[in-house]
Every structure is written in C-alpha cells, then in structure tokens.
Structure 1
C-alpha cells in the first residue's frame, strides 16, 4: 500500500493536539480584552497590543529557533518549546503588571513559532513524502479546531473565572501535550543531522520564495476579511451582535472542511488544489464586497472565505517541503514567518481605507486583491522550475513540474 493510502501515525494527531493547545492561546485574547483592560488598568487598544506582540514573536521566533535547535533531536526541541510556552502562561497568569504580561506574550509566541517549525518537519517525516499535505492539514487543523472550540471556551472561562484562568488552562493543556509527545515521538533522528550550510543552500531556490509569497499573500487575503468580520456583519449586513458567535462557528466549520479536503488532494494535485482554493477565495471575497448589505449573500460568503481560505494551507506547506528537499527545517521556519507576515499585513492594509472613511465592504475588495496576487505567484510557479532539491527529487516532481 502506498503512503498516500496509509493512516497517519498517531503521533501526527498528537502534534495537531499540541497546536490546538497553543493555538487557543493565540486566539483567545480577542475575547478577553475587556477583562484584561479592566484588571490591569490599561486601555482596550493597549490590551490589544498583546495580540500584536504575539504576532511579532511568531514572526521572529520560527527562523531563529530553527537554527538554534538545528542539531537537537526533534523531540527534545518540541518538549523544550512546550515547557517554555507553559511557563510563560504561568507567569502571565500570576502577574499583575501589563509590561510583564506583554513580555510573556512575545516569549510565548517566540517558542510557539519554533514548535510550529519543528513539528511541521516531524509530521512530514512521520507521514512520509506522499502524505505531506495530509500531515500538514492535521497540524493546521489543530489551529482550526482552536478557532471553533478553544476561542469560545477560553473566552467563556476567562469571563466567568477571570482571564487568568484561561492562561492556566493553556498551561495545563501544554503540559498534557508534553506527556503525549514524550511517549510517541522518537528520541533520536531517523536520518542524518541537519547542516546549516545545506539549509541555507535550499533557500537559494527562487521557487521556494515564490511559495513563501503564495503563503503570505493568501494569508493576508483571509486576514484582511476575517479581522473585520464582526463590525462588517453588524454595521454593513445589519445583523445583531448575537449572531456573530454562530457565524464565526460556521466559518470555523467551513475552515475545517476546507483544510481536511485539501489535505487529501494537495499531495497528488498541489497546483490544482491551490488554484481551486484561491479562485474560490477570490469569488467569496468579491461576493462579500458586493453583497455585504444582504444577509443571505454575506453569511454564505463568510463561510466560503473560511472554507477556501484554509484549503490553501496544506498545498502551500507541501510545496515548501518538496522544494526544500533534504533541508526542510529552515525552509519550514521561513514559511511560518511568511504566514505571520500575511497575518500582520492583511489587517493593516485592509484598515487603511476604513480609516479613510470607506465602509466595511472594502475589506472584501482588499482581500480579493491579495488573492489575485497570490494566484499570480501560483501561475508563475507553474512555469518556473527551480534548482533541483538536494534529495527526494522523485517525490517532489509533482510539486515542481510545470
């Protein structure tokens, strides 16, 4: 039986569970800003900087920690990252100082990014070269489930028992994930120890940087829309705020469907999967821009943004690993950074026309623009054959062919 038909190792699902625990922390502050603001005596915008600080920590953490831990066993690196992540949340729960909490958010995101980078390589290694996208869909699915379950659960816990309780819960989940990984991830390496020289050489491939461009632009397209969904649905669509949690839940379900489906097609048809997903995202963004004032158009468009937007994830991750060949660690780390570039740039650029007085439907146009640019990188990538990967050329052929 080929790798494509085999069930994924249980350890891959435990890695997805670890991403769920950490991803809950990434998302939950959006629902706890009023409580943090009141308890620490800072403004809501100042509390919101805790979210920005997390994004900055992730942007820097992935490549730095990928290099620092390059010669560690993957299990040792991930356990160290999870331990540090849990400790930052213990410190955050115990502090009454805004500056300390801000520092714990940066530090926690820093090691979370490192975990993402190493876990990605580990999942690919465990799953085999023919199941790259499936394995990555499980990892990214952990974050998707965090948006469906972790975000509302963390918000509810923080609102009823104090925002610190959500931090304690994340620390506890991280500790449980450590125990699971300790008993399922091999302690050594299955292959040769990575060399920084080879990792850096892999980054010279222009096709790899096109893949990073696809990652950043597609993510920016999603976040340009997602970041302003609540005010768009209340101010432009005319729905009451009570509908927002339900619509966001359907958005999350759509995202889970998209990422799971694409995980099963992207290994065989990476460029087809990307093209279909990005085209669907473009149509959804345009539908939202044009039909934001009509609920029966706007709500399905929001769900489709989640479905098609997250369907790009397995394919862009699989492309990066195929192009990196035998030097995947640093390449994966830069892809994590590319995701966070999109997370940072998308909401910022979508906010510019809003600051100028334009209505919320403009976020759909901005999302569509980013998606068109992402489609452009895919078109170019299908016509550009970069330098052959250092190894695994045969298994990478479908991802680098015209």
Structure 2
C-alpha cells in the first residue's frame, strides 16, 4: 500500500528536485528511517488499542476514533499541504515535517483525554502528509538515473519495515511499559530521523506553486473517477478489523501472549503482497491481481470470523490467516496505481497522489465501520470486512 505514498508526488514536487545527482543509496537510507517512523505512527495504535481505551476511560470502539481521525485527516490534508508547501526548500520541509511528527506523538502520549488525543493525531497526520510524498520525490532526485528505482525501493522499504518491525515493537513497548511510552518512542525516532536528514541530505530547492483546484482537476476524468472508489472500498475492507487486531487475536487464540508474533506475520504478508503484486501486475495485468487480492481478503477475514466462534485456534493457522490478510491488503495499491497511470499518463503524479488520499479515506471509513460494529462482537466485525472485500471484487470485475 505505502509505495503509492512515496511515488505519489505532484508536478510541483517533481519540479522541486533536480534530476540525477550523484548521491548514492546511503544518503537515501536516512529518508527510509523517516518513512519507517511515519508508517509505524500511522498504524501503531492497533498494537495497544485496548490498553489505551482503558487508560482513557473509553470503550475500545471509541478509542478507535483516533485511528479514523488520523486517516481522514491525512486523506483531506495531503493535497492542501502539498499545494502550500511546494515552494519550500526540500530538506527544510522534510526536517520540519519529522519534527512536527515527533511533537505530535509526544502530545499524543501526554493527552489526558480522548478529545485531546484525537487533536494530536490529526497534527501527526498533517506532518505525515507533508513528509512521505516528498521523501519519495527527493530520493529519486538524489541518485543517478540508473539506480533511481532502487532508491525508491529503499524509501518504500522503510514503510514496509514498519509493518514487520515497527508495529510489533510498539506492542512490545506498550506491554512492557505502556502505550504512552510507545508513542514517545515514535517521537524520539522522528527526531533522530530529522537529525539525520539535516546532517546528510543536500539542499534541494522548492518548485512552483500549484493551486489545490488544479491538483483536483484530474477528477474530471471519468475513467479516473471509476477507479478511485475501488481503492476506497478495498482499503476499507482490509481495515474494518485492523484497529481491533488485538481483540481479534484474543478471540482466535485466547490471551496467549502471541500477539507480537502474529503482528509480525501480518507484516511479512504485507511485504510479500506488495512485492508480488507489482511483479504480477506487470505480467498478468492489474484486474487479475486485484481479483485475487480481494478474493483472498474475503476468504481470510471470513475464515477468521468463522474460527473466532470456537477458540482457541492453532497459532500456526492464525499465523496463516494473518499473512493472507496482510498480503491481500497491501497487494491492492501497485495494481490500482498501474490502472490510474495507464488511464491518465500525462497526469500520473497527480492521480497517484489522489490514490494515496483515497487509501487513507478507505482506512478512515473501514475503521469507522469497525468501531460501529465491534460492540456486536469480533466475528461480526470480521464478517463486515469480508463482505466489503466481496463487494470490491465484484466492482473490480464490473469496471475492468
């Protein structure tokens, strides 16, 4: 999923960086640390949601509103922030974005109530929206043209590493200390990444400003409008139960203490799904990949819903479910990105950026649905996700 964020830069962003400098991949690695922090921050709440809800004296479903707020804020603010920051020197922008992300996480950790936590999460989303697209654009411009794809892969690797390492690490820290300590850790990592970028990255000038309405003008393309709803629906399906991963695991295996390992399995599936989707899309076409992804997601979430009624389930089986869930969720974006670029090749950066906003809109909708259904039980939440994945499959085939 997240490779859309790194490659979804706008025309102004492209203008902001000079092509083909002679920097090596080592200088790009510090950008990957920043994307690792952003990816961890975006989804870390799922690693300690029940404990956070208890500490704030709210229900788990209410605490999930913080996840919805982050995703919705990212979706709405990304085009606006991109327009208003287009002319800012790139290194300064990236450093300020990471420092703002760190402060927002410290604010989240100190929040005494859910309302203040949501405000801090919105601030974190704004900082993430300022950092991630620009990190990809800068990475591509810092290296020689022949290794540009590898540079983007390094930055994307920071995002995928967040699913395999960052989220499980957040769960461990929250279990050993508390959820506030996990958010403080994200804040510290943000500051370290900002320091690294400030020390290593060369100056990169900003580009020409572009009005928000110009960035959204591509929505007049009928073929683009047909594709984007699938991004929203598919991401919503995968994220209906995601914020409630810990209750889901408890329903499947019981409170066995295997949550960290299961979160790691989800991350492995996400990495594999993202890579295999790009490979398969080049060979079999995006619709075939999307159909397989949505079918797998619908089956995995449905199987988990069925199994949750009679715990405990073998950890090996649950690990397989988590791998399939992660793979199907993260396999969507490369195929969708391919479809959008093929429909509007002259406006590729704009449509990919809009797809990034659609991703977070889907996450916000999915989390909101999960929060509304969760009081009825884990199985019902999983069934809703499975049904949405089925709807996404039908829609993908209908508009192929």
Q: CA deviation at 1:247?
A: 2.2
Q: 1:88 to 1:145 in 2, by over 3 A?
A: same
Aligned to 2:101: 85
| Distance in 2 (alpha carbons) for counterparts of 1:124 and 1:212 | 26
Q: CA deviation at 1:216?
A: 1.3
Aligned to 2:38: 22
Q: 1:371 to 1:137 in 2, by over 3 A?
A: farther
Highest relative contact order (Cα 8 Å, sep 6+), 1 or 2? 2
| Greater Cα shift, 272-281 or 59-68 | 272-281
| Distance in 2 (alpha carbons) for counterparts of 1:323 and 1:139 | 26
Return 5+ residue gaps in structure 2 as ranges: 1-23
- Of the three residues 307, 316, 332, the one matched with 1:312 is 332
Aligned to 1:301: 321
Q: CA deviation at 1:370?
A: 1.9
Alpha-carbon contact 1:50-1:102 (below 8 Å) kept: yes
Q: CA deviation at 1:112?
A: 0.8
Tell me if 1:188 matches 2:205: yes
Q: 1:212 to 1:325 in 2, by over 3 A?
A: same
Aligned to 1:393: none
CA-based RMSD? 3.9
Q: Please show how residues 380-391 of structure 1 align to structure 2 within 5 Å.
A: 380-382=398-400
| Distance in 1 (alpha carbons) for counterparts of 2:110 and 2:253 | 41
- Of the three residues 242, 246, 259, the one matched with 2:257 is 242
| Distance in 2 (alpha carbons) for counterparts of 1:227 and 1:244 | 13
Aligned to 1:391: none
Q: Please show how residues 273-352 of structure 1 align to structure 2 within 5 Å.
A: 273-292=289-308, 293=310, 295=313, 299-321=319-341, 323-328=343-348, 330-350=350-370
| Distance in 1 (alpha carbons) for counterparts of 2:346 and 2:304 | 42
- Of the three residues 363, 369, 372, the one matched with 2:390 is 372
| Distance in 2 (alpha carbons) for counterparts of 1:227 and 1:275 | 25
| Greater Cα shift, 333-342 or 131-140 | 131-140
Q: CA deviation at 1:330?
A: 4.5
| Distance in 1 (alpha carbons) for counterparts of 2:236 and 2:145 | 28
| Distance in 2 (alpha carbons) for counterparts of 1:352 and 1:227 | 12
Q: CA deviation at 1:89?
A: 3.0
Q: Please show how residues 164-203 of structure 1 align to structure 2 within 5 Å.
A: 164-182=180-198, 183-184=200-201, 187-188=204-205, 193=208, 195-196=210-211, 199-203=215-219
| TM-score calculated relative to the size of structure 1 | 0.74
Aligned to 1:212: 228
Alpha-carbon contact 1:211-1:377 (below 8 Å) kept: no
Q: CA deviation at 1:107?
A: 0.9
Q: CA deviation at 1:218?
A: 1.4
Q: CA deviation at 1:265?
A: 3.9
Aligned to 2:3: none
Tell me if 1:63 matches 2:79: yes
Q: CA deviation at 1:121?
A: 4.8
Return 5+ residue gaps in structure 1 as ranges: 1-7, 383-402
Q: 1:315 to 1:184 in 2, by over 3 A?
A: farther
Q: 1:30 to 1:238 in 2, by over 3 A?
A: closer
| Greater Cα shift, 165-174 or 303-312 | 165-174
**3-state SS of 2:86 partner:** coil
Tell me if 1:361 matches 2:379: yes
| Distance in 1 (alpha carbons) for counterparts of 2:280 and 2:73 | 32
| Distance in 1 (alpha carbons) for counterparts of 2:245 and 2:384 | 13
**1:97-146 deviation per Cα after TM superposition (whole angstroms, max 9, x unaligned):** 76554422211112212323434555677799999998777655534422
| Distance in 2 (alpha carbons) for counterparts of 1:351 and 1:93 | 22
Q: CA deviation at 1:21?
A: 0.8
Aligned to 2:130: 114
| Distance in 1 (alpha carbons) for counterparts of 2:284 and 2:271 | 19
| Distance in 2 (alpha carbons) for counterparts of 1:379 and 1:128 | 40
- The number of residues matched between the two structures is 369
| Distance in 1 (alpha carbons) for counterparts of 2:42 and 2:98 | 14
Q: 1:114 to 1:299 in 2, by over 3 A?
A: same
| Distance in 1 (alpha carbons) for counterparts of 2:217 and 2:348 | 11
| Distance in 2 (alpha carbons) for counterparts of 1:98 and 1:347 | 16
Q: 1:143 to 1:249 in 2, by over 3 A?
A: same
| TM-score calculated relative to the size of structure 2 | 0.74
Q: 1:22 to 1:350 in 2, by over 3 A?
A: closer
Q: 1:347 to 1:57 in 2, by over 3 A?
A: closer
**1:304-339 deviation per Cα after TM superposition (whole angstroms, max 9, x unaligned):** 111222122332234445545454555344323211
